[in-house]
Amino acid sequence: MFAVFTYNKQFHNVLAESKADYKNCDASKPMDTWSTGNDSVILNTTGHHYFLCGFTGHCAAGQKVDIRVASSSAAPSESPSAAPSPTPSGSATAAPSPHHNAVPKALSAISVAAAVLA
């Protein structure tokens, strides 16, 4: 399973966090960091994977995501997914922030998609 994060790298990044740091929006000690603007992150273990934007104020504004990976035996055989999606295409997509100082709402400037590795 993997997640794809698409965002404007001038104004956002993606940090993998512990559950506690995710809940507290603490970006000071990430487990991993991505900053290309188009990052594929392999989720090779079941359970929760916590990600947030490390730019000041962005996590507090809702730019964070908890992706739960279920065991392959628990997932439907037709179309497994890591999390429910608000769009039929399987990704949450929105326009980037209109201004670099504007703090977008939850995931409004970061697109996340999950898919199964072949």
First-to-final CA distance of the chain: 9
Hey, what domains does the chain have and what are their CATH numbers? 2-115 (2.60.40.420)
| Sign, CA torsion 40/101/29/49 | negative
User: Please, which residues have CB within 8 angstroms of residue 66's CB and are 6 or more apart in sequence?
Assistant: 22, 48, 49, 50, 83
| Sign, CA torsion 69/73/76/80 | positive
Q: What is the pTM of this model?
A: 0.65
* 10-residue mean pLDDT series, the chain (118 residues): 95 98 98 97 96 97 96 54 43 41 42 45
